Amino acid sequence: MTARTEVAEFLDNNRDITHLDTVLIDLCGQAYGKRLPRAHIEKLYQNGTPVCAAMSLVDVQGNTADPMGHGFSDGDPDAIVRPVPGRLVRSPWATGLAQVLCEPEDAATGKPLWFDPRTVLKQVVDRFSDLNLTPVTAVELEFYFISAERDEDGAPQAAKSPRNDRPETAGKVLSLDKMDEFAPLIAAIETACQTQNLPTSTMISEYGPGQFEINLEHGDDPVKACDDAVLLRRCITSLARANGLDATFMSVPFPGQSGSGMHIHASLANDAGNMFDPARKESDTKLSAAIAGLQEIHAEAMAIFAPNLNVYRRYVADNFTPVTTDWGDNNRSVAFRIPSGPASARRIEHRAAGAEANPYLVMAAVLAGIHHGLTNRLDAGARSTGNVGAEVDQLLPLSLWRALDAIRNAKILPGYLGPDYCQIYAEVKQAEFAAFMETISRQEYDWYL
């Protein structure tokens, strides 16, 4: 189906649609774009629409620090935004609204913007064609439903139970009762995902009060997997608000409670099937090499996996969050887990990223590590058993400032993400961190005044 046929059929079949949101994803993983009236939708598909190019490089507050001269220094030029084929759908949380995922291109050359996160991932995925391999991936997202209101200090408040209107006080992992309790909202999200062609699978109650996890199906297109993940986050948040609550992908919204992560599942396939299938010759060698690459790249990529101060609150001992680079079978204390299941579906579960990280960049770093390990025939060493999360590996940069130093000095990542991407990413996040530190917190006064 051509783009013009796609939009013509959509408008013909959805005559109540009055507006369309163009959705792009910035460096921090947040959605931005334009809302166009119906009369302009076909124009978008014919000519694209201009959007400030540096919007791909804003911080979490939407501010630009002119990283590497993009923003103020270059006159803040526009990029041309074009729809991603097959991503024109209704937005069930609002009357008369549709949305389409888009990607920006350089207005002068027509080429993809080198600093657009979706473009960064595409170039990493392309590297696997040289190996005649296809990455098969999926994204798992954890999140909290929370109250739409904050407390007097601006902190989140637990969501009120739809059953009894009382705030949640504790989570019940894998609780079917909790699933039933939030069933109307979860059902609305599931229906919206079907409308938007988002391939959700398992949904579970997690450890924290009002915390849930929604998984996406595995597929052989990592870019699409991340498209699905960013649109799922938008879907969850929008439906929660439409139902009087809110949703957050902040890693640790409640002190002392379970954190929210983003887990990437990855295997590699060719014409003979899954490369990691134990029935295949050298499958264990290939698996070990892929994990060794992830181990080598882990420190360099921590600023991508954990892009703000809050995420680092997850990395404490005995928290089911990886604090080492160990790997093992069916073990949630390791960074790189081999889940149980059919041998033909054997895969790596990368468990380090926070839920609010940019899925395109997390996936790009994970696939870069796997490719690096395979092409250099690395060895991950022995599998770990038991609890390897009891002690934190002090060599890992488990603070934002150390992680930013690590990505600035990266040796492996620039060869995959692009020669300047690690630097421009670090500049954006360093400026965000500096702006964050300008505010004096209440605890600072309590401790030091």
Three-state DSSP at 116 gives: coil
76-89 confidence digits (pLDDT tens): 999 999 999 999 99
> With contact defined as beta carbons under 8 Å apart, do 82 and 112 qualify?
no
Q: Angle at which helices 283-305 and 421-437 pack, to 10 degrees?
A: 40
Report the DSSP beta bridge partners of residue 101: 23
Least confident segment among 1-10, 154-163, 292-301, 396-405: 1-10
Tell me which amino acid residue 319 is: N
DSSP string, 12-31: HH-TT--EEEEEEE-TTS-E
Distance CA 379, CA 308 (A): 31
Question: Which architecture does CATH list for 125-448?
Answer: 2-Layer Sandwich (3.30)
Tokens 């013509």 sit at which residue? Answer: 8
Q: Give domain limits for the chain.
A: 3-110, 125-448
> With contact defined as beta carbons under 8 Å apart, do 157 and 151 qualify?
yes
329-386 confidence digits (pLDDT tens): 999 999 999 999 999 999 999 999 999 999 999 999 999 999 999 999 999 999 999 9
In percent, how much of the chain has pLDDT > 70? Answer: 100
Distance CA 168, CA 145 (A): 10
- Cβ neighbour number for residue 131 with a 10 Å cutoff: 13
pTM: 0.97
Domain 3-110: give its CATH superfamily: Glutamine synthetase, N-terminal domain (3.10.20.70)
Radius of gyration over every alpha carbon of the chain, rounded to an integer in angstroms: 22
pLDDT over 90 (residue 115): yes
Closest CA to 249 of 265, 274, 264, 232: 232
DSSP string, 284-352: HHHHHHHHHHHHHHHHHHHHHHS-SGGGGGG-STTSSS--S--EEES-TTSSEEE--S-GGG--EEEEE
Closest CA to 205 of 258, 134, 253, 254: 258
Looking at residue 264, the DSSP 8-state letter turns out to be E
399-442 confidence digits (pLDDT tens): 999 999 999 999 999 999 999 999 999 999 999 999 999 999 98
Phi-psi region of 100 (alpha: psi -120 to 50; beta: other; left: phi over 0): beta
Whole-angstrom CA distances from 360 to 224, 265, 338, 416 are 10, 14, 22, 13
Give the 3-state DSSP-derived string for 33-61, with helices as H, strands as E and coil as C: CCEEEHHHHHHHHHHCEEEEHHHHHCCCC
pLDDT over 80 (residue 44): yes
DSSP string, 349-409: EEEEEETTS-HHHHHHHHHHHHHHHHHTT----SPP-S---SS--TTS--SHHHHHHHHHT
pLDDT on residue 1: 62
pLDDT on residue 32: 97
